[in-house]
C-alpha cells in the first residue's frame, strides 16, 4: 500500500490534476521515512523537515556578501537533478586559499560533529549554470574545466564569478552531503596550475574503456570514493560516445552499487566464515550493529528512526524500514535508498579483505542526537569503521542476536518482526539441522 493511500484513494493521487492540489498538513512518520524530502509525498512544494534543517544552518555563520569568490576548490563539483536531461552544474569554491581538501572529502570527517560538517559545507559557494547531460561528450569550455577540476589530485586555486550574491542557504539530503550557498554563475576559471591525478587522467583519455571498468580499476588502485564520484558525475569515464553528466545524488548510489557488485562477484568464490560475528559501535548518535552469519552471501539493511529524529519528527514510536537480497542479488531499487548500497559496499569490502563470504544483517538505530541528515557517506564511513573494529564470536544465531540487541533500545522481537533474514534464521529450520544419516 502506498503511504499516500492512508489519506486519499490512490486513484486520485495518481491523477496529476489532483496531485498538484493535494497537501497533507501533518504527514505520517511512515510517509516521511519513505520520502526523505525527495519525493514530496505530502504535496508541499518543499519538505518542512528540511526547511527546519536549513533554518538551523542559516544561522550557523554569516557568509560573504560578494559576487566574486576566490579560493582553492577542494576540488569540488556538483551536478543537480532537477530539469534532467538539462541540469544545473558547477564548481564549489571557498573564500580561502590553501589546503581545503577536508571541506569536500567525507573520508576525512571521521570523529567530526554534525555542526563541524555543516560548517565545512557552508563555507563552499556553489556556482550554477545549465548544461545538457551530453555536454560531457561535446566538451564545452566550462564542462571541460569542471572535468579537469574533478580529476585534480589536490585543491585548485580558482576564481568564481557569480551573476548575483549567493543565496544564504544550505541544502540537506539523505543521499548526499549538505550543500551550501549557491548562485547563478557568470564564469569560472582556474587561476593556477591544476595537478591532475594521473590515474584518473589515463582513464579519461581511454575512449573505449567502460565506466564500470574504469571506476573499479581506479578503486582498486586506491583512489578515494569521493574522488571517483566527482569524476563519474561530470562524465569523465566511459566510452566517449556514451559519456554523460550524472546528478550527484545518483552518481553516489550508482558508484556504491557498481563497486559492491564487483566485489560480491569475487567473495562468492571464497569459503564462508565458520562462526557468527557481531560488531557494534555508535557514531553521531547512531547505533550500528553488524551480524555476520556462517553461510553463503545474503544481505539485509534495516534502519530504525526514533521519535524526534529527522525522518520521524511526527511519530510517537520508532519507525523501521529495510530491504534484503539473497545470493543472486536484487533487481529493484532498495526501499531504504542510498544507505542500503553504501552499507553493501562497506560489507563487501570487509569480506573481500578477509577473503571470506557470509550472510550480513546490518542494523542501524537512529536517536534524536542525529539532528540533521548529512548523507550516505556517513553510513558508508561508519560501517567501514565498524568492520575494522573488534567483534564477538558466537556459536548460534540466538546468542549473536541477544548480544546484538543489547546495544539497542528497540526490542529483539521488533527487529525480528521487521527483518526477513532474522525471521529465516530464527524461525526456519535448515537441512543441516537434521541428521540425514540417521535414516541410512
Local structure of residue 357 (DSSP, 8 states): B
Q: What whole-number distance in Å separates Cα of residue 311 and Cα of residue 305? A: 7
Of 136, 187, 355, 178, nearest to 266 (Cα)?
A: 355
Of 293, 322, 297, nearest to 415 (Cα)?
A: 322
Q: What is the mean pLDDT of each run of 10 residues along the chain (440 residues)?
A: 34 41 58 70 62 50 72 95 94 94 94 85 90 92 96 96 82 67 93 95 97 98 98 97 95 97 98 98 97 98 91 84 97 95 98 98 94 89 97 97 98 96 84 43
This prediction has a pTM of 0.85
Q: What whole-number distance in Å separates Cα of residue 324 and Cα of residue 339? A: 12
Q: What whole-number distance in Å separates Cα of residue 254 and Cα of residue 260? A: 10
pLDDT of residue 58: 52
- For residues 212 and 256, the answer to whether their CB atoms sit within 8 Å is no
In DSSP terms, 386 is beta-bridged to: none
Query: Alpha helices, DSSP H only, in 94-196?
Result: 114-122, 135-138, 141-150
- For residues 218 and 203, the answer to whether their CB atoms sit within 8 Å is yes
The torsion region of residue 310 among left (phi > 0), alpha (psi -120 to 50) and beta comes to alpha
**Cis omega (within 30 of 0) for bond into 75:** yes
Q: Which domains does the chain have, with CATH numbers?
A: 3-45 (no CATH), 68-197 (2.40.50), 199-263 (no CATH), 276-431 (no CATH)
Query: Alpha helices, DSSP H only, in 59-188?
Result: 114-122, 135-138, 141-150
- The set of cell numbers assigned to 39 is 519525493
In DSSP terms, 255 is beta-bridged to: none
Q: What whole-number distance in Å separates Cα of residue 129 and Cα of residue 140? A: 12
In DSSP terms, 290 is beta-bridged to: 279, 362
pLDDT of residue 179: 72
Sheet holding 359-366: strands in order across?
319-325, 298-305, 359-366, 286-293, 276-283, 392-394
Amino acid at each position: 500500500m502506498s503511504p499516500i493511500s492512508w489519506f486519499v484513494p490512490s486513484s486520485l493521487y495518481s491523477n496529476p490534476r489532483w496531485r498538484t492540489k493535494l497537501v497533507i498538513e501533518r504527514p505520517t512518520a511512515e510517509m516521511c521515512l519513505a520520502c526523505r524530502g525527495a519525493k514530496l509525498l505530502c504535496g508541499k512544494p518543499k519538505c518542512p523537515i528540511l526547511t527546519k534543517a536549513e533554518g538551523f544552518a542559516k544561522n550557523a555563520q554569516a557568509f560573504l556578501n560578494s559576487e566574486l569568490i576566490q579560493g582553492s576548490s577542494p576540488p569540488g563539483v556538483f551536478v543537480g537533478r532537477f530539469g534532467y536531461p538539462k541540469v544545473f552544474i558547477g564548481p564549489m569554491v571557498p573564500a580561502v586559499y590553501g589546503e581545503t581538501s577536508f571541506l569536500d572529502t567525507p573520508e576525512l570527517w571521521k570523529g567530526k560533529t554534525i555542526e563541524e560538517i555543516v560548517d565545512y559545507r557552508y563555507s563552499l559557494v556553489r556556482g550554477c549554470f545549465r548544461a545538457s547531460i551530453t555536454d560531457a561528450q561535446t566538451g564545452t569550455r566550462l564542462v571541460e574545466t569542471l572535468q579537469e577540476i574533478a580529476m585534480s589530485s589536490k585543491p585548485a586555486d580558482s576564481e568564481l564569478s557569480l551573476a548575483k550574491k549567493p543565496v544564504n542557504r544550505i541544502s540537506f539530503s539523505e543521499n548526499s552531503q549538505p550543500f551550501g550557498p549557491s548562485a547563478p554563475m557568470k564564469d569560472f576559471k582556474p587561476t593556477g596550475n591544476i595537478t591532475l591525478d594521473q590515474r584518473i587522467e589515463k582513464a579519461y583519455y581511454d575512449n573505449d574503456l567502460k565506466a564500470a571498468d574504469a571506476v573499479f580499476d581506479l578503486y582498486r588502485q586506491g583512489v578515494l570514493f569521493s574522488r571517483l564520484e566527482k569524476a563519474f558525475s561530470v562524465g569523465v569515464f566511459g566510452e566517449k560516445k556514451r559519456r554523460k553528466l550524472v546528478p550527484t545524488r545518483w552518481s553516489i548510489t550508482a558508484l556504491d552499487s557498481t563497486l559492491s557488485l564487483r566485489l560480491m562477484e569475487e567473495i562468492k568464490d571464497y569459503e564462508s566464515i565458520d562462526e557468527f560475528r557481531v560488531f557494534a559501535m555508535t557514531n553521531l548518535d547512531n547505533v550500528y550493529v553488524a551480524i555476520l552469519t556462517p553461510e553463503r552471501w545474503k544481505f539485509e539493511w534495516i534502519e530504525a528512526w526514533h521519535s524526534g529524529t529527522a525522518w520521524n519528527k511526527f511519530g510517537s514510536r520508532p519507525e523501521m524500514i529495510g530491504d534484503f537480497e539473497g545470493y543472486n542479488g536484487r533487481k529493484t531499487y532498495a526501499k531504504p535508498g542510498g544507505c542500503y548500497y553504501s552499507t553493501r559496499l562497506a560489507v563487501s569490502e570487509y569480506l573481500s579483505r578477509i577473503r571470506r563470504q557470509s550472510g550480513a544483517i546490518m542494523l542501524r538505530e537512529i536517536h534524536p542526537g542525529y539532528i540533521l541528515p548529512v548523507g550516505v557517506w556517513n553510513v558508508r564511513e561508519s560501517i567501514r569503521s565498524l568492520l575494522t573494529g573488534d567483534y564477538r564470536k558466537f556459536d548460534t544465531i540466538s546468542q549473536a542476536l541477544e548480544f546484538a540487541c543489547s546495544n539497542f533500545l528497540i526490542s529483539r522481537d521488533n527487529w525480528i518482526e521487521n527483518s526477513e533474514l532474522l525471521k529465516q534464521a530464527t524461525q526456519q529450520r535448515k537441512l543441516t539441522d537434521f541428521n540425514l544419516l540417521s535414516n541410512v
